[in-house]
Structure 1
């Protein structure tokens, strides 16, 4: 596909990549151009949701992306680290593509290309105002299959790039490579954190439970503050993103259950990382960009 673009009569400075179902904000190209003019070579846009209120799954997905945009992507941009490509809504300088090629073959090719960029001394910048609306899966089954595919690709990518990234990080004192390597390790950490969280909830409901002794690691007051912050930080961040309403408040009540489903999905994805079958996610919503921007 990229080769066809290279061979066209018209010559372009950069290429933007979208999914077929995406809707794009009217200022997308303007915002991407601002970042390219600043010298950035690869820029990820803000991934929003076309259908946040179709089901509890789409609402949970939307919350997850709103939180990621604010507390994962934006801080990394400000700190000079590499943001993560999201598979859609990103822009790449043509010369970078010609230099290192696309060459991504994992099920999560966006993640693989992010790591490939880090190994070649490039980082992904962020454009918070270049908004791309993506359709989220409606049912738990669709979501499960999609996220399992993400974890299969993540595991495959980790097996290929974790070693080279850590070597580059320590040999060259490269913080970007180190941060990318740590991110590849995150799913393993997610499983342990998820199990600890479940144990903590059980302790909250049954303080005298004889099976768990986590409460003795820190004073009770520390755990109380920790649990309170767990429930408050998400709504406060979504409020700052101007996405907050009563439906979103309801979404935060069920969001923890969505997060817990990541535990078996992550384990299943890692166990089947060598399976390269692509599970297609159906898209059926007919929504116009004017409807979204009006909302």
Structure 2
């Protein structure tokens, strides 16, 4: 029966089933992640001591939001004498530095450099400036936030538990402060909530390494000191740090009870620019670190090999499989239509495969959106109507990654500013009791 089925398959069918098989083998473990999250609770930790932290905030023309972040840090349920806030006003042309000082920043460093552009360079500059302080050695870890963030009142208390437990780096629960702005901001929010719940929490529960994602994380002071500062300068410096750390056998932790609110883009052009930079950055990280991660699957100490595989799958250009499949089938269909190749069942096979590929992509995104929205319902600040409505736009938002990933293959990327303008009431956004 199997041989009979094979005899009726065209080379188009063989190609498409091969792509599906490769994708399934590579990513089936992430469905197990969902099972783990739904059936097991993440481990809980308690701190025996409070530790001293430095906060680094890279800010470029963030005068409308920087004050909210600093205020949310200054009202933490954690000893204020153990938190020092350092703002790197990076190539600013507004009064970000002045507002940061007035809001309660410990120190503001103004940096002007139009050659080394990007968050990684700003963080490296800030770290080296902090090392000149008399109290530099007293900081046990460095937190990194984006200027548009605000924090739950218990954020530092919860993250301190993770650091006290021995973590050298940890990410946190990334929520959105403007989920309800439109379908674009909601698309981002659902994706990051899904990442926190069904990737980071699963990895925490299974005692493997997580990955730092943009903002809301700490790195132990000795890690930065051993690295000579922030040495990761690709377009996605967070993912580069994660890949580098995992290769070195360092585990990145996760704190599900430390909530951070992030502002998401609301215009498609801003979203395109940001995600284009991310896509290009992932290609860069894959190019630089894929070989070492693959090697680490076999050579890293036991217990740390799967983290290399997981990270390799994270940075692998999986979207290209979708693009290749659509492109291949579209080409075959056109060649058959114009008589370049014998049509036969080629047109039907190619067109049905294209539909199958897109339909399944949209279906999986919808399922993940539904699952994430309903399990994180109470943590989403929006109306019921918007929570339900944006379930149907989330797959469309994800579908727009396809042209972005394709363009990123051939076009150079550079950092472009995204305006952050949404000011929120910290106490209103803050959650004192999370699931």
Aligned residue in 2 for 1:76: 203
**Is 132-141 or 73-82 further displaced after alignment?**
73-82
> Structure 2 length normalisation: TM-score?
0.58
**Is 170-179 or 262-271 further displaced after alignment?**
170-179
Q: Cα gap change, 1:283/1:196 in structure 2, threshold over 3 Å: closer, same or farther?
A: same
Q: Equivalences for 1:264-283 in 2 at 5 Å?
A: 264-272=403-411, 275=412, 277-283=414-420
1:43 corresponds to 2:170 = yes
| Deviation at residue 92 of structure 1 after TM alignment | 0.9
> Structure 1 length normalisation: TM-score?
0.84
Q: Cα gap change, 1:225/1:279 in structure 2, threshold over 3 Å: closer, same or farther?
A: closer
Q: Deviations over 1:105-154 (max 9, x none)?
A: 10110011111111221121101111111110011111000000001111
Q: Equivalences for 1:79-228 in 2 at 5 Å?
A: 79-101=206-228, 102-172=230-300, 174-185=305-316, 188-193=317-322, 210=348, 211-214=350-353
d(CA) in 1 for partners of 2:360 and 2:250? 39
Structure 2: tracts of 5 or more residues without a match: 1-125, 330-346
Q: Deviations over 1:161-218 (max 9, x none)?
A: 1111112222336222222122111xx3224347879x9xxxxxxxxx9344559x9x
Q: Cα gap change, 1:289/1:177 in structure 2, threshold over 3 Å: closer, same or farther?
A: same
Could you say what secondary structure the match of 1:270 adopts? helix
d(CA) in 1 for partners of 2:169 and 2:200? 14
**Is 7-16 or 231-240 further displaced after alignment?**
231-240
Contact 2:247 2:293 in 1 (8 A): yes
**Is 14-23 or 76-85 further displaced after alignment?**
76-85
d(CA) in 2 for partners of 1:66 and 1:234? 9
Structure 1: tracts of 5 or more residues without a match: 200-208, 218-223
| Deviation at residue 238 of structure 1 after TM alignment | 1.9
d(CA) in 2 for partners of 1:176 and 1:105? 22
Aligned residue in 2 for 1:234: 369
Q: Cα gap change, 1:153/1:236 in structure 2, threshold over 3 Å: closer, same or farther?
A: closer
Could you say what secondary structure the match of 1:45 adopts? strand
Q: Cα gap change, 1:256/1:276 in structure 2, threshold over 3 Å: closer, same or farther?
A: closer
Contact 2:362 2:395 in 1 (8 A): no
| Deviation at residue 293 of structure 1 after TM alignment | 2.6
**Is 42-51 or 2-11 further displaced after alignment?**
2-11
d(CA) in 2 for partners of 1:259 and 1:60? 8
d(CA) in 2 for partners of 1:161 and 1:5? 30
Contact 1:194 1:260 in 2 (8 A): no
Q: Pick the structure with greater CA Rg.
A: 2
Q: Cα gap change, 1:233/1:155 in structure 2, threshold over 3 Å: closer, same or farther?
A: closer
Could you say what secondary structure the match of 2:430 adopts? helix
Q: Cα gap change, 1:261/1:136 in structure 2, threshold over 3 Å: closer, same or farther?
A: same
Contact 2:276 2:413 in 1 (8 A): no
**Is 39-48 or 98-107 further displaced after alignment?**
98-107
Contact 2:293 2:308 in 1 (8 A): yes
Q: Deviations over 1:250-270 (max 9, x none)?
A: 001111111110001111123
Contact 2:369 2:394 in 1 (8 A): no
